[in-house]
Amino acid sequence: MRIVPVAYDHPDAVKLTDQVQLEYAERYGDGDLTPMDPAQFDPPRGLYLIAYEDDGTPLATGGWRSQEANDEGYADGDAELKRMYVVRSARGRGLARQILAALEADATAAGRRRMVLETGTMQPEAIALYGSCGYAPVPAERKFGLYRNSPESRCFTKRLG
């Protein structure tokens, strides 16, 4: 297995994004409607990674993009985690942890001070992963992102550096 940086609009990234959107729809009734611009994941202000099987099959993905203080609750120096996903057949192999660690290291090297993410109550495995990797839940009044006012939304942060 190898993890490589790709553009957010790379064909394999699009394929995995489509798959994660289907999973969101299964769990929540709709995909993630957060606006995403592929350029937001271009280094040094972001990064998008795919984990590939040795035969070239894409297995997992995730990225981060820079955020600054705005009306959606972000703070200056934030790195927002997006599109963490592992295909069902590859779950339980530690791929999400490996991608998350690589994204945290890259965001730290880029000078970001805090990794932030939003997930939902219908993704208990994501909540467990982030908690086990040192992410702290954010109180309801300090949530961020498009879904910050949703009762299903859960936001987490981790200091970088």
pLDDT for the residue 10: 98
Q: How confident is the model at residue 98 (pLDDT cuts 50, 70, 90)?
A: very high
Q: Which domains are assigned to the chain? A: 2-159 (3.40.630.30)
Is there a contact between 144 and 81 (Cβ–Cβ < 8 Å)? no
Average pLDDT over residues 68-95: 96
- CA torsion through residues 40, 65, 89, 32, sign: negative
Pairing of strands 2-5, 46-52: antiparallel
Task: Record the pTM.
Answer: 0.96
Closest CA to 59 of 108, 94, 105, 33: 94
pLDDT for the residue 69: 95
Element housing 14 (H / E): helix 11-28
Closest CA to 106 of 34, 9, 4, 23: 4
Question: Per the structure block, which two tokens stand in for 34?
Answer: 């957060």
Condensed to tens digits (0 to 9), the pLDDT of residues 16-26 reads 999 999 999 99
pLDDT for the residue 147: 94
Q: At what angle do helices 124-132 and 95-109 cross, to 10 degrees?
A: 50
Q: How confident is the model at residue 38 (pLDDT cuts 50, 70, 90)?
A: very high
Average pLDDT over residues 63-77: 96
Condensed to tens digits (0 to 9), the pLDDT of residues 111-153 reads 999 999 999 999 999 999 999 999 999 999 999 999 999 999 9
Is there a contact between 86 and 38 (Cβ–Cβ < 8 Å)? no
Question: Per the structure block, which two tokens stand in for 126?
Answer: 């994501």
